[in-house]
Structure 1
Amino acid sequence: MDRIEELALPLREAVDLDPLLARVGDARVVAIGEASHGTHEYYAWRAALTRRLVEEHGFGLVAVEGDWPDCYRVNRSVRLRPGADDDPRTALDAIDRWPTWMWANDDVVDFCRWLRGHNAARPEDERVGFYGLDVYSLWDSVHELVAWLRENEPEHAGAAVRAMRCFEPFGEDGAEYAFATRFAPTSCEQAAVDLMHHLCRQRGRSDDGDDGDGDDPEARFAAEQNASVVVDAERYYRAMVGGSAESWNVRDVHMADTLDRLLEHTGGKAVVWEHNTHVGDARATDMADVGMTNVGQLLRERHGTDDVVLVGFGGHRGGVVAGREWGAQMERMPVPPAREGSLEHLLHERLGRDALLVWPRDERPGELDRRLDHRAIGVVYRPERERWGNYVPTVLGERYDAFLYLEDTTPLQPLHLERPGEHVPLAAEAV
């Protein structure tokens, strides 16, 4: 195969995804990226692929680049849990951590409503879940954990309360905590670790058959995950003062660890929704040059290339929702044509149409083995920086197993504008 034109297949409707479904085969994890967090077409095609994976390949959970507490409320809705929101839109609209539009948007609502309908026809133990993998929700996870312990194990709530009191002086401000740990001799690390150890000991007793009165295994798992978030979020915020590579790695290792726990907990197969920078194997980019790993690399290393399929996205021009600064109000912005010499420019010149590319590992066009600039738009975006920013040097054929290319894109539709007083997580990166 000498030319990329020979590889490109039409991409017009869901049935055109057949070659990608064939590539998935019996794989246990399919990680589906996006080239921005604010583009309708990326979300819509990702949802279309996920529906087919659920219906035709038996995938049992969707794990996303979102906070555990927020997504667990959505999970309870789509799985029709007692007392949960009847409409997933209510759960998604309640998200109040910037950037809310990542998950509080019409495309995710449509998918989650479909998922709830799909689950309604299935036994409870076969319903597909929706979970968050991210690490930002330190304070929300502490509050959720304290509440669960007080209701279910009041005699053990003291450890969580001590952890919460350690973090209280920082006013739920990640930046204030991060910089305080740089200059103070102590941190909340021990309180967080003690909390996780406590929950693990309790899990061991439950695994031995002592589940307690009325214990809900799913709720207990959620409590354990909130404890894990507290531990890793504390590490993440401390790492923030040490440089972006260290904090990035803490975050992506946490997301990969969370996915592994979900796979063990459910015993099923997982679809992952994250940005290309997390999904695509870091070793095929310049991220590896500065010591950064990511979820895609970790999945391949832990589960093997036969059991993992990584799917990337890219677009030539269009529109996007993003903020001009970290924490800024969202805007609809133009996305100019891809710069000359980039992957997206090459696909525009060679194809000029939406296309699906799925390649065998041992036979692919030479363009897929060249390092080309690949556009990456995060939650912070400035179109005027396209000349020198917003691109990641990438060997496409090594970074992904398949790629969806779109000529023209449009902004997604958020459920609400950013509201005054919303939480803005501290972050070293904008994806």
Structure 2
Amino acid sequence: MKLFSTAVCLLLCAPTFAQDIRSYVTTNTVRVATLDAASDEYQDLAAVGQAIGDARVVMLGEQDHGDGPAFQAKTRLIKYLHERKGFTVLAFESDFYGLTTGWEKLTQQPDSIRRFLRYNIFPLWARSEDCRYLFQHYIPQSLQTANPLHVAGFDSQLYLSYSYLHLRKDLDSYLVRQGIAGKFPSPAAYQQFIEAVQGLIAEPRTPGAFRPGMRKDLENGLQLVSQAQLAAHDTSAWPRVLASLQAYMVQGDEARDKAMADNLKFLLTNQYEDAKVIVWAANTHIMKHTDRITGKGKDFNRVIFHNMGTYFVQDPLWARQTYVLGFASY
């Protein structure tokens, strides 16, 4: 497994190593015995545990979202981190509101858990055969023990099942309860804002649901709500939900990654302030210090430079407490 992370570092540091790459890899590689997620033998992962040390956050990447062997390897590492290193939360690159809030309200029964995970984590993982053991067996079974593995989301793309069914109603209740609904210019303007929120959430399922005229209603409403939250010093999750909707509306890589970093920080400082957290996402999202990479390609600059990992470790606290492990397979 160490080979996977070493390979990523070598790609970024190749000019420094020059002709010594082969000896560096040979010296620093530790062989992993199996990718079998059901295995309870972890001696071969001791080097990974030593490298992670006392990190509170471990980010597990993947080179793309169809890499089955990486999914298997990550599942085994998740088991190891949960059972041997005290990690109790698994945070996915999936719907921040739906996955996090829905999990809190979920009936903690195996069948309910399986169904919830299937519809509130992106299908590229939730319906992958290589993730079946994690979602169908390990997580549901852990909830029946004294050492449960909890699930959360940090992605600003709020449109999976729970958000689709509940976010509009929950947001409406929150805004009315806080007196923010009454700050809109008129009841009609407020209703147009709420309908624009639902249109944005519904767009992936029903193309055209987010009509062109809704963008302005959403922009104006998000600005008004954000100002009211700031004035009220709102420390709930709702400011992050609104910021996620803003990032989702923008549809840009940089806005999304910045929102994901902020959402992850919220989980660590509020939702799970005493927990050790495993992060599941793409390599390109979790890489840190990408602002130190030199490159002139436009796409490379947009996708890599301004990513979640780099935003996240700008805070020295998280830079010290975060271990990033990239994956590649052939």
Q: TM-score, normalised by structure 1?
A: 0.55
Are the equivalent residues in 2 in contact too, given 1:276–1:313 (CA < 8 A)? yes
Indicate the residue corresponding to 2:323 in structure 1: 309
Q: Which moved more, 1:264-273 or 1:281-290?
A: 281-290
- 1:133 CA drift (Å): 1.3
The counterpart of 2:123, out of the listed 88, 96, 100, is 100
Indicate the residue corresponding to 1:32 in structure 2: 60
Amino acid at match of 2:144: A
Amino acid at match of 1:270: V
After superposition, residues 30-69 of structure 1 pair within 5 angstroms as 30-69=58-97
Are the equivalent residues in 1 in contact too, given 2:58–2:325 (CA < 8 A)? yes
- 1:203 CA drift (Å): 7.9
Write out per-residue CA displacement over residues 275-311 of structure 1, whole angstroms, 9 at most, x where no aligned residue: 1111123334747745831122123222354311110
Output the CA distance in 1 between the equivalents of 2:45 and 2:95: 29
Indicate the residue corresponding to 1:117 in structure 2: 141
Output the CA distance in 1 between the equivalents of 2:285 and 2:138: 26
The counterpart of 1:172, out of the listed 202, 205, 210, is 202
- 1:24 CA drift (Å): 0.8
Corresponding position: 1:300 with 2:313: yes
Relative distance call for 1:49 and 1:273 in structure 2 (3 A) is same
Write out per-residue CA displacement over residues 348-379 of structure 1, whole angstroms, 9 at most, x where no aligned residue: xxxxxxxxxxxxxxxxxxxxxxxxxxxxxxxx
Relative distance call for 1:306 and 1:32 in structure 2 (3 A) is same
Are the equivalent residues in 1 in contact too, given 2:58–2:277 (CA < 8 A)? yes
For the residue of structure 2 that corresponds to 1:188, the secondary structure is helix
Corresponding position: 1:12 with 2:30: no
Output the CA distance in 2 between the equivalents of 1:168 and 1:46: 34
Indicate the residue corresponding to 1:280 in structure 2: 287
- 1:117 CA drift (Å): 2.2
For the residue of structure 2 that corresponds to 1:26, the secondary structure is coil
Corresponding position: 1:231 with 2:237: no
Runs of 5+ unmatched residues, structure 2:
1-16, 35-41, 182-189
Output the CA distance in 1 between the equivalents of 2:200 and 2:267: 31
- 1:270 CA drift (Å): 1.2
Indicate the residue corresponding to 1:379 in structure 2: none
Output the CA distance in 2 between the equivalents of 1:202 and 1:142: 27
Amino acid at match of 1:190: N
Are the equivalent residues in 2 in contact too, given 1:69–1:144 (CA < 8 A)? no
Whichever structure has more strand as a proportion of its residues is 1
Output the CA distance in 2 between the equivalents of 1:148 and 1:74: 12
The counterpart of 2:268, out of the listed 263, 266, 290, is 263
- 1:75 CA drift (Å): 3.1
Q: Which moved more, 1:25-34 or 1:67-76?
A: 67-76
After superposition, residues 338-357 of structure 1 pair within 5 angstroms as none
Whichever structure has more helix as a proportion of its residues is 2
After superposition, residues 129-144 of structure 1 pair within 5 angstroms as 129-137=150-158, 141=163, 144=166
Output the CA distance in 2 between the equivalents of 1:295 and 1:285: 18
After superposition, residues 186-197 of structure 1 pair within 5 angstroms as 186-196=216-226
Are the equivalent residues in 1 in contact too, given 2:193–2:221 (CA < 8 A)? yes
Aligned length: 281
Indicate the residue corresponding to 1:148 in structure 2: 170
Amino acid at match of 2:170: W
Write out per-residue CA displacement over residues 220-264 of structure 1, whole angstroms, 9 at most, x where no aligned residue: x6xx35x633433334433x4xxxxxx111101111111111111
Question: Identity across aligned pairs (percent)?
Answer: 19
- 1:147 CA drift (Å): 2.8
Are the equivalent residues in 2 in contact too, given 1:32–1:272 (CA < 8 A)? yes
Runs of 5+ unmatched residues, structure 1:
208-220, 241-246, 317-431
After superposition, residues 201-240 of structure 1 pair within 5 angstroms as 204=234, 224-225=237-238, 228-238=240-250, 240=251
Relative distance call for 1:285 and 1:46 in structure 2 (3 A) is farther
Relative distance call for 1:151 and 1:173 in structure 2 (3 A) is closer
Are the equivalent residues in 1 in contact too, given 2:56–2:276 (CA < 8 A)? yes
Corresponding position: 1:21 with 2:46: no
For the residue of structure 2 that corresponds to 1:120, the secondary structure is coil
- 1:63 CA drift (Å): 1.0
Corresponding position: 1:91 with 2:116: yes
- 1:164 CA drift (Å): 1.6
Output the CA distance in 2 between the equivalents of 1:171 and 1:87: 23
Are the equivalent residues in 1 in contact too, given 2:285–2:309 (CA < 8 A)? yes
Relative distance call for 1:280 and 1:120 in structure 2 (3 A) is same
Output the CA distance in 1 between the equivalents of 2:230 and 2:96: 18
Q: Which moved more, 1:154-163 or 1:51-60?
A: 154-163
- 1:202 CA drift (Å): 7.5
Indicate the residue corresponding to 1:128 in structure 2: 149
- 1:135 CA drift (Å): 1.4
Relative distance call for 1:171 and 1:42 in structure 2 (3 A) is closer
Q: Which moved more, 1:99-108 or 1:56-65?
A: 99-108
Amino acid at match of 2:253: W
Output the CA distance in 1 between the equivalents of 2:87 and 2:286: 18
Output the CA distance in 1 between the equivalents of 2:241 and 2:150: 19
Indicate the residue corresponding to 2:253 in structure 1: 248
